[in-house]
Amino acid sequence: MNPQSTDPQPQDNEHIATSTAAGSITPPPSSTPATQEIHAGSMLAVKQLVDAVRAEVAKAVVGQDEIITQFLIALLVRGHVLLEGVPGVAKTLTARALAHVVRAEFKRIQFTPDLMPADVIGTNVFDPHAAEFSLRQGPVFTDVLLADEINRTPPKTQAALLEAMQERRVTIDGVPHPLSELFIVFATQNPIDYEGTYPLPEAQLDRFVMKVLMSYPSLEEETQLLARVNKGFDAHDLAEAGLRAVVDGAALERARAAVQSVTVSEGLLNYITQIVHRTRGLPTLTLGASPRASIALLQCGKALAAISGRDFLTPEDIKTVALPVLRHRLILRAESEMEGLRTDDVVQSALNAVEVPR
């Protein structure tokens, strides 16, 4: 069994990416050229980086601004993304195109019921010629990892990603092995087919900085998709499709440093903690958001501010990222689910109940 593949990798039903997002984030589009240099501490430069990436990915992805912005927020805060969407909305291709544009190595694992932890992280193999063991690296040794249908593999294999996601290293036979500084996981799951699946435990869900919902494209976007296919567009070869690598690791690190320098007032820190604390006492929930959620809300809000070209955080930044940051960290009571309540409704209720600082 070969659980991994590298870019380029044909993907069924995902010849052209077309996607929209619930709880979406859409900064104004820009025509900034894709060759701008990114300077440390410059919020305008972070915006230029995002606009450059968006312009390139748009060559392969139709209707992608909201999804790509959320992906880039996760990349800027060193977070991981849980993707949920029906088959054929280009979850895989969107992540692969992003990896291509930022000069990152891309690998994909198709999670199945018989996948073992060693298939994910690697194992030591005895070499009879050298009379010693050598490490055969698993697909986690990459920059961008797509964990496809992660909920189709047993918990033991799902847990193999836990240390990698949190510590950015894996331990094999007691020896720690560091992963790439760029390492990010995009894990997908199908929201409509739960037969034979293994729901992710709360501990692992909390490791994802965002849960992004990808839905069908609009009528106009799907028509544009067909027009591209009709002209011979082939998303299997991203370079041939005209996508250029416009961002390198050094530029990304400078952008990350710029995000950290975004100014946050004491009032906004209190605003974040009030929102998160609000989820912990609600009768509709059995589990509220943890302090890790507060940290994620702060970091993602700062990244959105930088992407928008600002060096200060606003309440709107926090409100905008609240749904993707919090929706997967809450557990509804059974009776609340039976009444049709969603975690998005709970997050929105918490936002409405907390006074916005002036």
Q: What DSSP line would sit under 29-67, residue for residue? A: P----TTPPP-TT-HHHHHHHHHHHHHHHTTTEES-HHH
What confidence score (pLDDT) does residue 25 get? 53
Q: Are residues 244 and 285 in the same domain?
A: no
Are the C-beta atoms of 150 and 158 separated by less than 8 Å? yes
Average pLDDT of the chain, as a whole number: 86
Residue that terminates a domain, selected from 243, 261, 279: 261
How do residues 104-163 score in pLDDT, each as one tens digit? 999 999 999 999 999 999 999 988 888 888 889 999 999 999 999 999 999 999 988 888
Q: What is the CATH number of the domain that holds 284?
A: 1.10.8.80
- CATH number of the domain at 39, please: 3.40.50.300
Report residue 126 as tokens. 């005895």
Which residue from 56, 26, 68, 25 is spatially nearest to 324, judged by alpha carbons? 25
pTM: 0.84
Domain final position from 226, 261, 296: 261
Structure tokens at 299: 């970091």
Provide the pLDDT for residue 234: 80
Give CA–CA dist 305/326, Å, rounded. Answer: 18
Residue span of the structural domain in which 301 resides: 262-358
Half-sphere exposure (Cβ direction) of 154: Cα atoms closer than 13 Å: 7
Asked if residue 339 lies in contact with residue 328, where contact means CB atoms within 8 angstroms, the answer is: no
Q: For residues 212 and 193, give the distance between their C-alpha atoms in angstroms, rounded to a whole number.
A: 18
Same domain, 146 and 292: no
Q: Which amino acid is at 266?
A: E
Angstrom CA distances, 134 to 25, 161, 180, stand at 45, 21, 20
Write out pLDDT tens, residues 170-217: 999 989 999 999 999 999 998 877 777 888 888 889 999 999 999 888
pLDDT above 90 as % of the chain = 58
Please say whether the beta carbons of 90 and 61 come within 8 A: yes
More confident residue, 15 or 120: 120
Domain end marker among 261, 281, 309: 261
Cα separation of 185 and 229, whole Å? 29
Q: Does residue 60 contact residue 238 with C-beta atoms inside 8 Å? A: yes
Structure tokens at 325: 């940051």
Q: How many domains does the chain have?
A: 2
Look up residue 156 and give its two tokens: 């033991």
Tokens describing residue 316: 């709107």
Looking up tokens 């994802």, which residue turns up? 208
The strand pair at 81-85 and 210-215 is best described as parallel
Q: Is the pLDDT of residue 36 over 50?
A: no
- 23 and 70 within one domain: yes
Same domain, residue pair 110 and 256: yes
**165 and 206 together in one domain:** yes
Residues 297, 241 share a domain:
no
Measured CA distances, 328 to 213, 310, 322, 332 (Å): 11, 28, 11, 10
Residues 149 and 191 in one domain: yes
Tell me how far apart the alpha carbons of residues 94 and 108 are, in angstroms, rounded to a whole number.
13
